[in-house]
Structure 1
Amino acid sequence: MSKITLKKVTAPEKDHEATIVQLTDETMTERKGKVINAMQNANVDTLVIYCDVEHGGNFSYLTGFVTRFEESLLILHQSGEAFLVLGNENTKMANYARIDAEVIHTPLFSLPDQPMDNEQQLTDVLAAAKIEKGQQVGLVGWKMFTTAGDNRKLYDLPAFIVNGVETLVGSSLASDCVLRAIDEVAVGKTEMEIGSHLVKYGQRTNVFPIAATGERFEHAVISPTDKKIKLGDKLSITTGFKGGLASRSGYAAASAQDLPEEQKAYIEKVAAPYYKAVVTWLENIKIGMQGKALYALIEEVLPQADYHWHLNPGHLTSDEEWMSSPVKKDTTTPLTSGMLLQIDIIPSVAGYAGTSCENGIALADENLRHALAESYPNFWQQIIKRQVYIRAVLNIDLPDEVLPLSSGVAYYTPFFLAKDVAFVKG
């Protein structure tokens, strides 16, 4: 493969998308159909889908909303009949849900000391939602347990809900924020000043925003502080929203000359080899590829023994930043059209700052690309614009089936004070 070099480039235009892409009714109907097909294939009569403020992705996949500070359930039968079990402050949301469902009000899911009108035992509520003895019921939280043992009886739902059922039945905003934060990096600014750019439009983050200069976690503090950026500091910037995360790590420096003597080889020893792995990942990932093949490619260009990366070099993302990962050493799981994946390769080389150019992509076959272009034309034009930039400016041979989910994909300025000097291939 061609070498990796640092050169002056034109930065990608920020997406500046102040509008939300609203999913069509056809898309929501298709989602429900896919879930019901999966239920039929698995001989599951009913799904009980859980939601709370932290984990609502599976619930909102079908309903379009999350219930924030209240617990809630979507109960979906194989017939397509659905029930929403909602607390005091979310019953109104049934009027706006993207799925036809009957509402069952249960104050049990409300905040403490609120009125307990219509109070019922949870078993009675579930029975009203037509869960019956003898049914095969699937419990859906958010976490897919992947330990070596039998995970079928591990539930990431509150015990009172699991007990009730058992009794009855026997990833562009994150990128823009990070790019904007990088634009603001300057010696003398504080972590909090940089961190103020990592949230926008009142949207809830799905990761803990990071703006960390120098040594991290001093006094066990993980939030941005009033610590000021110094020339030559290590620097990390991260945020994430529904749909994906963006992260950058490097130095608050204009060049290697600003680094301590023992760290001046950062580009050759750490950052350039890492970026070569990112380029390899983007140029070679494809639909049908087994997860172990992508893992092996990264191992070849960025040997784990030398660069000490530990987590999967790529994982699925959606409402939650990390869903699961098909990219493992021995897995034969294929990458499929419709997957959203994070470019998550995290080397650790002693004596140097970390290096990170993490963003998300989608895999899309010709049918999906055509459907996106037809149903979401503005979104599709953004995808094309990003692909053109990656190919023309960064010289990366990006396959058509790889859709950059933000303008920052593969754009990496490891020296945060040299704002127009980025890695390119060649």
Structure 2
Amino acid sequence: MAITLSPVALPDFGPIAAEQPQIPARTYDARADAALKAAGTDWLVVYADREHFGNIMFLSGFEPRFEEALLLLGPKGKRVIITGNESESYTVLARLPSIEVLRAQTFSLMGQDRTQNPRLADRLRDAGVGKGDSIGLVGWKYLSAEEDEDHANCFFVPDFIVSVLRRLAGSVTDATSVLMHPENGLRSVVDVDQLAAFEWASVRCSRALWRVVSGVREGDSEFEALGRLGYEGDPLNVHTMFASVSKGESIVGLRSPTARRMKKGDGVTTALGYWGALSSRAGLLTDHDEVFLKPAKAYFEALITWYETADIGTTGGDLFTAVTEKLKSAGLNSALNPGHLGSHEEWLHSPTRPGSTERLRSGMPFQVDVIPVPMPAGWALNCEDTIAFADADLRDAIRTRYPEMHARVIARRAFMANKLGVALKDSILPLSDAPLYLPPFWLRANHVLIRE
């Protein structure tokens, strides 16, 4: 394939509504029932804290602030949130019907009042947990069989919570895969309303990041560059990243911005993540560099291979092999899995692993996240955005329920085909407003890589 650097204007793909699409209460109701049924236990107990909130958010519409929380799903439709002093009042935002709220002040920050409801065990008893009950416990990730011989009894949950549950009930097993398995987890495949909410976030996220990439100037500090986000308070799923380095220095892409002032030729990278979406770009702060252009073209070819291989029914192993073999032909590799499931958090899980037989499914929100390595010190290269897989029925549902989203998706697909030379399968829905739009040189941000 012939890859060239060409001037291509990034169009306006259409307006979005002022308010994000909402998930109906009946959807949370169905999710909670499905989760408890899939766990096959008397109770499903879901752990959450400020960073690890995606599971409880998916099931209830609530996520704790400052402190920990548990969601209990139990017999006869029992639904209970247990949290601390500050999040108790915040539970009013939960959209799961018939929720009871109990306060366990041990979840509160240290030094706060604990004179009223200090003991978690008491609150669990009040919820109805008792001796002989079986409990499926959901943490924020889970171990596989090759990681530990007792993986079903290991938990990514604070130990004191596990200890209390075992004292009260006895049987506690890990049930995190019910929600987070990369093919069959309830969160791996989402409904039309959730996809619409994530697309809304992806639009805002990608537009904000593009303002940074297209607006950065020689002499800017990293703070000044990132100030162009126009950030309006959208909830984040990662800390906001920006890093720059001189030639010969190693770039640390995960770091936050500093007062460092950039100069021509620097390597630059930035990323922004909202609930349901992440957008990232990396390149050189210059107007041209013929040496850098060669690996950039090879990387773009690998991204095209990703889009041409991925489809509903494709195994993660086949996608992994296709992309990594294309990278290897240019002396590159993928730093992490070449693609992963997205959600409220940036990384839910990934079927894209060596030898994986897990298949891509309709309704999966996905990050096209291929990070090329190795890069010479002082260089950075990346183009990450959000897509979704959708079969004909899901596409029809989007067209009917969210016609403006449908129009934006159609416009992005046309742009990728007609301007970038990358025609997508019907099943791939680009959710970013800068789809596959890769400028290797940020001082000429409207010159991007295309396939002729």
TM over 0.5: yes
Structure 2 Cα separation of the partners of residues 40 and 335 of structure 1: 24
CA RMSD of aligned residues (A): 2.4
Structure 1 Cα separation of the partners of residues 341 and 109 of structure 2: 33
Could you tell me which residue of structure 2 aligns to residue 204 of structure 1? 235
Contact 1:58/1:142 (<8 A) preserved = yes
Identity of aligned residues (%): 33
Out of 400, 408, 412, which is 1:386 matched to? 412
Q: Deviations over 1:277-327 (max 9, x none)?
A: 111111221111111110111123211892132311111111111111100
Could you tell me which residue of structure 1 aligns to residue 349 of structure 2? 324
Contact 1:361/1:404 (<8 A) preserved = yes
Q: Residues 131 and 253 of structure 1: is their aligned pair in 2 closer, same or farther, counting only changes over 3 Å?
A: same
Deviates more, 1:351-360 or 1:14-23: 14-23
Deviation at 1:81, TM superposition (A): 2.1
Q: For residue 148 of structure 1, what is the amino acid of its counterpart?
A: E
Structure 2 Cα separation of the partners of residues 267 and 182 of structure 1: 18
Structure 2 Cα separation of the partners of residues 413 and 22 of structure 1: 31
Q: For residue 298 of structure 2, what is the amino acid of its counterpart?
A: P
Q: For residue 380 of structure 2, what is the amino acid of its counterpart?
A: G
Could you tell me which residue of structure 2 aligns to residue 176 of structure 1? 207
SS at match of 2:102: strand
Contact 1:72/1:87 (<8 A) preserved = yes
Q: Deviations over 1:84-124 (max 9, x none)?
A: 11222232334332012111122222223333353242112
Out of 51, 59, 64, which is 1:62 matched to? 59
Out of 89, 100, 103, which is 1:102 matched to? 100
Structure 2 Cα separation of the partners of residues 330 and 220 of structure 1: 28
**In the alignment, is residue 144 of structure 1 matched against residue 145 of structure 2?**
no
Structure 1 Cα separation of the partners of residues 433 and 261 of structure 2: 29
May I ask how many residue pairs the two structures share in their alignment?
415
Deviation at 1:5, TM superposition (A): 1.4
Q: Deviations over 1:160-195 (max 9, x none)?
A: 211111111115232112100012111111111112
Could you tell me which residue of structure 2 aligns to residue 225 of structure 1? 258
Q: Deviations over 1:343-392 (max 9, x none)?
A: 11111234361311101111111222222233333333322222222222
Structure 2 Cα separation of the partners of residues 165 and 293 of structure 1: 41
Q: For residue 293 of structure 1, what is the amino acid of its counterpart?
A: D
Deviation at 1:31, TM superposition (A): 4.5
Q: For residue 138 of structure 1, what is the amino acid of its counterpart?
A: G
Contact 1:213/1:236 (<8 A) preserved = yes
SS at match of 2:442: coil
Could you tell me which residue of structure 2 aligns to residue 401 of structure 1? 427
Q: Residues 16 and 354 of structure 1: is their aligned pair in 2 closer, same or farther, counting only changes over 3 Å?
A: farther
Structure 1 Cα separation of the partners of residues 130 and 121 of structure 2: 10
Structure 1 Cα separation of the partners of residues 415 and 431 of structure 2: 13
Deviation at 1:18, TM superposition (A): 6.8
Q: For residue 363 of structure 1, what is the amino acid of its counterpart?
A: F
Could you tell me which residue of structure 2 aligns to residue 306 of structure 1? 331
Could you tell me which residue of structure 1 aligns to residue 177 of structure 2? none
Could you tell me which residue of structure 2 aligns to residue 346 of structure 1? 371
Contact 1:39/1:78 (<8 A) preserved = no
SS at match of 2:86: coil
Out of 280, 297, 308, which is 1:247 matched to? 280
Could you tell me which residue of structure 2 aligns to residue 260 of structure 1? none
**In the alignment, is residue 274 of structure 1 matched against residue 299 of structure 2?**
yes
Out of 207, 211, 219, which is 1:188 matched to? 219
Q: For residue 417 of structure 2, what is the amino acid of its counterpart?
A: R
Q: Residues 291 and 195 of structure 1: is their aligned pair in 2 closer, same or farther, counting only changes over 3 Å?
A: same
Structure 1 Cα separation of the partners of residues 166 and 281 of structure 2: 46
Structure 1 Cα separation of the partners of residues 284 and 251 of structure 2: 18
Contact 1:254/1:416 (<8 A) preserved = yes
Could you tell me which residue of structure 2 aligns to residue 415 of structure 1? 441
Structure 2 Cα separation of the partners of residues 88 and 376 of structure 1: 39
Structure 1 runs not aligned, ≥5 long:
257-263
Deviation at 1:38, TM superposition (A): 4.4
Structure 1 Cα separation of the partners of residues 432 and 253 of structure 2: 32
Deviates more, 1:87-96 or 1:162-171: 87-96
Structure 1 Cα separation of the partners of residues 447 and 338 of structure 2: 25
Structure 1 Cα separation of the partners of residues 324 and 451 of structure 2: 19
Contact 2:65/2:86 (<8 A) preserved = no
Deviates more, 1:247-256 or 1:135-144: 135-144
Q: For residue 312 of structure 2, what is the amino acid of its counterpart?
A: I
Q: For residue 397 of structure 1, what is the amino acid of its counterpart?
A: A
Q: For residue 277 of structure 1, what is the amino acid of its counterpart?
A: A
Structure-to-structure mapping, 1:351-366, within 5 angstroms: 351=376, 353-366=379-392
Structure 1 Cα separation of the partners of residues 448 and 35 of structure 2: 45
Q: For residue 23 of structure 1, what is the amino acid of its counterpart?
A: Q
Structure 1 Cα separation of the partners of residues 441 and 210 of structure 2: 13
SS at match of 1:84: strand
SS at match of 1:134: coil
Deviates more, 1:336-345 or 1:94-103: 94-103
Contact 2:386/2:431 (<8 A) preserved = yes
Deviates more, 1:412-421 or 1:210-219: 210-219
Out of 85, 89, 92, which is 1:88 matched to? 85
Structure 2 Cα separation of the partners of residues 308 and 287 of structure 1: 24
Q: For residue 4 of structure 1, what is the amino acid of its counterpart?
A: I
Contact 2:13/2:408 (<8 A) preserved = no
Q: Residues 209 and 332 of structure 1: is their aligned pair in 2 closer, same or farther, counting only changes over 3 Å?
A: same
Q: Residues 80 and 363 of structure 1: is their aligned pair in 2 closer, same or farther, counting only changes over 3 Å?
A: farther
Structure 2 Cα separation of the partners of residues 198 and 16 of structure 1: 18
TM-score between the two structures when normalised by the length of structure 2: 0.85
SS at match of 2:272: strand
Deviation at 1:421, TM superposition (A): 0.6
Contact 2:66/2:87 (<8 A) preserved = no
Q: Deviations over 1:17-62 (max 9, x none)?
A: 473423242xx43344245334324422211112211111111112
Deviation at 1:339, TM superposition (A): 1.1
